[in-house]
Chains A and B, each alone.
With several copies, the nearest count.
Chain A
Amino acid sequence: MKEITYKEALREALSEEMIRDENVFLMGHDIGIYGGGFGVTEGLVLQFGEQRVIDTPISEAIIAGLATGAAISGLRPVIEAMFSDFVTLMMDNIVNQAAKFSFMSASQACVPLVLRMPAGCGTGAGAQHSQSLEAWMCHVPGLKVVFPSNPYEAKGLMKAAIRDNNPVIFFEHKLAYSSIGYVPEDEYVIPIGQANIMRKGNHITMVSYGHSVQKCLMAAAHLKEIGISAEIIDLRTLYPLDEATIINSVKKTGRVMIVHEAVKTGGLGGEISAILSEKAFSYLKAPILRIAGKDVPIPFSKTLEEACVPQIQDIENAAKRLMRR
């Protein structure tokens, strides 16, 4: 085991997969000598050359389009949107082309592409650079969606995403990039579609993903001191959802809260809540709670920005409320 950052973990995955398979290439703006908006691809152009680490003009739509066509043709593109907010410019190529190609063609071709996107708020970048749009992607059959919460997951999921024969939307949280964690020295892959129980507990189940998992872990540590034992499920993959892991935990605890930074209305919390209502209704001892982002564009002011998404204290308070029901 070694300790590396989330950013380094991603870079290792990219580099290892590029070595393993010459059909893997990277494309995006400023991913070459600049190293990407958040430094994930730093150094890769020196290692693999400009033929495989490809800078493009600011043309998000065609980056996604070209990647789709390249994937259909047998390559394995990994593209980057500098901020996940700019996926708005890629939606047609991702949703109407990449996601549907295998289906519409009755499997004449598949689309092994990965779209990497830094998401989330907390950097004071304002409303157009701070969104969490993963719920959109989970509503598009044909896509897979992953969102690692720590370096170990970042590396293992990225390798799985690159090897997957389908378009995988890969969210990365900006605040996670410099977080540190243990990662095996040996090669490993984390299968897409499997959640992970990050912490065992008996009283309540916290379902979360991405950076919010870290907040749940801290909240759980505090809650333990007052005798509340929280089980934390890190979804890792948002689509397809690992329903079994969630349901099994809820069967045990009977109390569940879903925590995410994305805006509450229309967020993934609703989906998970609905699944539990459908499939674990009789085990529920209390209403399912969603602790999610406020229904508001992300403001610039630091204090307001923090007020818009769940903080550790909010998670603790919610857990206490949940225990009282």
Chain B
Amino acid sequence: MSLTNEKITIMYNKMVTARLLEEMLHEMFSEHMLHGTTHLGIGQEASGIGACMTLRDGDKATLTHRNHVQCIGLGMNVKYLLAEMFGKETGTNSGLGGSMHLMDLKNGNLGANGIVGGGLGLALGAAFKMHYHKEENVVMCFLGDGATNEGLFHEALNLASIKNLPVVFFVENNHYAVSMNTSRSMKVTDIGQRANAYGIRSIILDGNDAIDVYNMTFSAVQYVREGNGPILIESKTYRVAGHSKSDVKQLYRSQEEVDAWVAKDPIKRLEEYILKNNIANSEMLKEINTRVMDEIREAVLFAQNSLDPSADILNKHIYAK
């Protein structure tokens, strides 16, 4: 499916939703309104949302700890997302999961994961089921650059390759795993190169260019859907926010580096594209921003006004009947 104007507008809407949501989360964490921790994807909106929008009904995705953007991309309702982050019974996971476990199965969202690389097995299994039942679906497995250094990555790519499983390994290379720059964590310059070791094709793309992300991911998904086995996408992007709420000093990188990437802000770039191509005018974009902000404020209220889960929920979900 090519990128219609309508789709571009939806993409923009989602990217703005993710950005405003996360800015709100950042504020709320600073004010200690929220328990636990969080990992913001500010600066990575084109990657997460562009990729998710290439999926269709029946497709699935496994998410990382840095998952809000991906959640929005897959269509999670901000109300339930926020309620979960407030630990409320109306949350996506009834308050049992929290930020690192946001899950929304009905939208194909197999869950964020607190274990770096933890989604690999889930993705392979979901893809295995599609393969087993000869369904024409794919699984998008989101990974960070850091996750590609876990042993499970190796085992997963090899197994997906030899079993020809429909998985798109979508690596959001934001250049850091907490404090470690990719130049320190691997000797190869592109994570894409790692796919060769398994006879898997790879694509490297500009993860801050939403249009590029969508188009190239779309053809990759197509390739996988047609039964050609897995593919690896390396989406080069940057984490503008700190690693998590605890990452305050950020001694591991320079302000210049951050600024250089802020200049490549994916939302600004999409805005420019939209305006240049007359897909919408600046009024309309502003309106979107306002509407999204209203939605988020409403969602915060919804979350805050929801009830805490009661203790009897604990035993309800450990085992299935």
Contacts and interface: CB of A to CB of B under 8 A. Distances in A.
Contacts, number: 256
Interface stretch (A27-35, A148-156, A247-255, A314-322): A27-35
A92 B125 CA distance: 15
B162 A57 contact: yes
Contact of A62 (B88, B116, B155, B313): B155
A30 B118 contact: no
Contacts of A85: 114-115
B151 A70 contact: no
Interface in B92-118: 92-101, 103-105, 110-111, 113-118
B314 A57 contact: no
Contacts of B121: 61-62, 64-69, 93, 97
A65 B185 CA distance: 18
Contact of A129 (B93, B114, B315): B114
A106 B314 contact: no
Contact of B110 (A56, A65, A72, A127): A72
B115 A96 contact: yes
A175 interface: no
Contacts of A68: 121-122, 125
A123 interface: yes
Nearest to B129: A73
A53 to B, nearest CB: 12
B178 A30 contact: yes
Given A32-B179, A104-B103, A108-B105, A300 B123 contact: no
A304 B319 CA distance: 17
The bracket for how many chain A residues form the interface is 35 or more
Interface stretch (A4-12, A278-286, A291-299): A291-299
Interface in A46-69: 51, 54-62, 64-69
B162 A166 contact: no
The bracket for how many chain B residues form the interface is 35 or more
A103 B318 contact: yes
Given A34-B252, A104-B101, A105-B93, A58 B177 contact: yes
Interface stretch (B8-16, B142-150, B288-296): B142-150
A302 B33 CA distance: 12
B146 A57 contact: yes
Interface string B58-81: 001010000000000000000000
17 contacts: A33-B251, A58-B150, A61-B155, A62-B121, A62-B155, A67-B125, A69-B62, A73-B128, A89-B150, A93-B121, A108-B105, A124-B35, A126-B114, A127-B96, A128-B114, A299-B309, A300-B35
Interface of B: 35-37, 60, 62, 84, 87-88, 92-101, 103-105, 110-111, 113-118, 120-130, 132, 146-147, 149-152, 155-156, 158-159, 162-163, 177-180, 184-186, 246-247, 251-252, 308-309, 311, 313-321
